[in-house]
Chains A and B, each alone.
Chain A
Amino acid sequence: MSAAEKTRERRVHRSGRLFASELGLMCGRRRNQVGLATLFALVVLVGVALKVSAMRRPGSRGGDLVSAVAGNGIYLGFAGLTIEIALFLPLAVSVLAGDAVAGEANQGTLRYLLLAPVGRLRLLVVKAGALIVGSVIGAMVVAAGGVLTGVVLFGAGPLISLSGTQLSVADGLWRLALAALYVATGLAALGMIGLFISTLTEQPIAATVATAMVGTLLWVLDAVPQLDWLHPWLLVDRWPAFVDLLREPVFLDRIVAGLGINAAYGAVFFALAWLRFRGKDITS
């Protein structure tokens, strides 16, 4: 191994150390743990509500995803993502993202990180990485919480795909995991918007609220029929496309387009965050 390769390896290793520190900070924070528990509890709540209504009216079966849960608990994973994708998951990501830079600035720890010296780009990359991990954890917890609750309350079995064919349990769980990852890419893109906003202020709460409002605004715009020309360009428009993973064969068009939009939003807002942060006066 050449000296340059060794230096490079050491640098990567040392950025890994900072990344581990960042994840430890994020996961160790009581507030974040409570938030994650809330995401989980919401799916449990939905499961219990479905169980109660299924016991009251055993005969009735709707055609949608939520009522399918009564027949097979694994569907509750998908139902959980559907229910939390509009508000709770974006809110959770907004909390993490708003805190990313503004939280450190507010505490004054930002100046000491920069004096370490962490390197501004390196810090921003680590913060973005942590937001991506946080998005994945959030979506996974909702999906896993759904499956656990559903299986406990309704039992598990082969799934019927949206195209009417049968999917094995293992196949269904795989598709659920992919659905959660797909949802996570959208959340991470919203996280990059939040990261950018977080570089604009020293008030983490303000950054969180602003990010959550952007998320909500996007959903509202996406629901206005008169703006249908705009819909394909809205970040959230294709988020619900994860249900396409339940088709047989899997229908990928919307998901691929959604991944493209998520990546584009993520890249643009990360770039904006960097443009803002690289020369910013740190007066906190």
Chain B
Amino acid sequence: MSLPPEHEGSEQPELAIASTGLTKRFGRQQVVDDLALAVPSGSVYGFIGPNGSGKTTTIRMLLGLVRPDSGSCALFGKPMPQAAGGVLPRVGALVEGPAFHPYLSGTANLRRLDAADPSSDSATASARIGSALDRVGLRAAAGKRYRAYSLGMRQRLGIAAALLHPRDLLVLDEPTNGLDPQGTREVRHLVAELAAEGTTIFVSSHLLVEVEQLCSHVGVMRSGRLLTQGPLDELRTLTAPRFRLQTPDPAAALGVLATLEVPDAAADADAVTGTLAGLEPERIVAALVAAGVAVRSFTPVTATLEDAFVELTGEGFDVSG
């Protein structure tokens, strides 16, 4: 991890991104509402929420493109947007899709962005541009005009621009939009690789499955509010695992479950369900069998993150706002 020395050995784990009370209104709509993000250095943080939940607006505020109405945010402890000039060279970003000059080639576009960064050295530009293009598999199309690029190639060029320098933080706003399954896999692989090198990754998505395998941390957005954030495992436990029991004698089964203090056991037409609530499945089955209740099948139902997400947002993936 290439953090500057003054940050080493601090008591708290350093936060790559921190915000307090971050709020933004567009017209009458509260787009981002009192956001307190905490993205630990070295984490892969999945920022998930349905379309229109305020992810991109949040990212714009974090990067100093949009001014918050109230609240503040900081990258590596430096306030944004005041410290933009010093901090942004350490940050690579893809915000709301790629955008380049249509009549310039991929290489020429990257060269222009490199020229825009006063901290970057023109002597090493060609080498850095070449390796960024290699990294996203775009070397073969580097000389083509951007307007001739497919959606997936454009997305790759956007990621290449974020990789022009070694970065401490990568902010990727829906990086797999428009990519085919193969491209999606490649991006995931690339993110994992960069994370392994120590880069903090902040990746937004409206598709939970996309980040689930990738992330160490998640934050869940809904209608501009951060519903929860933390290590992924903690979020999983938010939804307690349940079980599903099939038996010819549901009434007796409910009696046994009551003695085991299963909080919400209930019987419907074909099964008895309830929350495991810390009980091992084998204990429940043993108790049932000991009480003479016939057990046809007993299935623990582990919650997916998807379930947790739906439970949190209450609405699944519908557009909000």
Interface, chain A (partner B; CB < 8 A):
11, 14-15, 17-18, 20-21, 25, 28-30, 107-109, 111-119, 122-123, 279, 281-283
Q: Quick check: is B118 within 8 A (CB to CB) of the other chain?
A: yes
When distances are taken between beta carbons in the complex, the residues of chain A under 8 Å from B89 are: 117
Interface of A is mostly: helix
Nearest CB in chain B to that of A17: its residue:
B115
- State whether A282 touches B66 (Cβ < 8 A): yes
6 intermolecular pairs with C-beta atoms under 8 Å apart: A21-B111, A21-B116, A28-B103, A115-B95, A117-B116, A122-B118
Interface residues of B in 113-136 (CB under 8 A from A): 113-118, 120, 122
- State whether A107 touches B85 (Cβ < 8 A): no
Q: Quick check: is B112 within 8 A (CB to CB) of the other chain?
A: yes
When distances are taken between beta carbons in the complex, the residues of chain B under 8 Å from A15 are: 118
Residue from A14, A109, A115 whose CB has the most chain B CB atoms within 10 Å? A115
Interface residues of B in 61-87 (CB under 8 A from A): 63-67, 84-85
Residue from B89, B99, B115 whose CB has the most chain A CB atoms within 10 Å? B115
Known contacts: A282-B66, A283-B60. The answer to whether A108 contacts B112 by CB under 8 A is no
Q: Quick check: is B149 within 8 A (CB to CB) of the other chain?
A: no
- State whether B66 touches A21 (Cβ < 8 A): no
Chain B: interface residue count, which band? 20 to 34
Query: Per a CB cutoff under 8 Å, which of A29, A107, A118 touches B99?
Result: A107
When distances are taken between beta carbons in the complex, the residues of chain B under 8 Å from A20 are: 115
Residue from A15, A20, A28, A281 whose CB has the most chain B CB atoms within 10 Å? A281
- State whether A14 touches B66 (Cβ < 8 A): no
- State whether B85 touches A119 (Cβ < 8 A): yes
Nearest CB in chain B to that of A18: its residue:
B115
CA distance A115 to B116 in the complex (A): 9
Interface, chain B (partner A; CB < 8 A):
60, 63-67, 84-85, 88-89, 91, 93, 95-97, 99-104, 111-118, 120, 122, 161
CA distance A119 to B64 in the complex (A): 11
Nearest CB in chain A to that of B97: its residue:
A108
When distances are taken between beta carbons in the complex, the residues of chain B under 8 Å from A11 are: 118
- State whether B99 touches A117 (Cβ < 8 A): no
Known contacts: A107-B99, A109-B99. The answer to whether A115 contacts B118 by CB under 8 A is no
When distances are taken between beta carbons in the complex, the residues of chain B under 8 Å from A119 are: 85, 118
Known contacts: A111-B95, A122-B118. The answer to whether A117 contacts B84 by CB under 8 A is yes
CA distance A30 to B145 in the complex (A): 14
Nearest CB in chain A to that of B162: its residue:
A115
Extra contacts, 12 of them, besides A117-B64, A281-B60 (Cβ < 8 A), are: A14-B118, A21-B112, A25-B101, A28-B103, A107-B102, A111-B95, A112-B100, A115-B88, A115-B95, A116-B117, A122-B118, A282-B60
Nearest CB in chain A to that of B164: its residue:
A116
When distances are taken between beta carbons in the complex, the residues of chain B under 8 Å from A28 are: 103-104
CB distance from A90 to the nearest CB of B (A): 25
- State whether B115 touches A21 (Cβ < 8 A): yes
CB distance from A139 to the nearest CB of B (A): 26
Query: Per a CB cutoff under 8 Å, which of A14, A21, A111, A118 touches B65?
Result: A111
Nearest CB in chain B to that of A14: its residue:
B118
When distances are taken between beta carbons in the complex, the residues of chain A under 8 Å from B114 are: 116
4 smallest beta-carbon distances between A and B, as pairs: A108-B99, A116-B116, A117-B88, A118-B116
- State whether B101 touches A14 (Cβ < 8 A): no
- State whether A14 touches B122 (Cβ < 8 A): yes
CB distance from B126 to the nearest CB of A (A): 13
CA distance A116 to B114 in the complex (A): 7
CB distance from B101 to the nearest CB of A (A): 6
- State whether B99 touches A111 (Cβ < 8 A): yes
- State whether A283 touches B66 (Cβ < 8 A): yes
Nearest CB in chain A to that of B125: its residue:
A17
When distances are taken between beta carbons in the complex, the residues of chain B under 8 Å from A107 are: 99-102
Known contacts: A108-B96, A119-B85. The answer to whether A114 contacts B117 by CB under 8 A is no
CB distance from A257 to the nearest CB of B (A): 39
When distances are taken between beta carbons in the complex, the residues of chain A under 8 Å from B65 are: 111, 114-115, 281-283
When distances are taken between beta carbons in the complex, the residues of chain A under 8 Å from B67 are: 279, 281
CB distance from A39 to the nearest CB of B (A): 21
Nearest CB in chain A to that of B88: its residue:
A117
CA distance A243 to B86 in the complex (A): 51
CA distance A11 to B97 in the complex (A): 30
Known contacts: A14-B122, A21-B112. The answer to whether A118 contacts B117 by CB under 8 A is yes
CB distance from B302 to the nearest CB of A (A): 40
CB distance from B11 to the nearest CB of A (A): 30
CB distance from B159 to the nearest CB of A (A): 12
When distances are taken between beta carbons in the complex, the residues of chain B under 8 Å from A108 are: 96-97, 99
CB distance from B73 to the nearest CB of A (A): 15
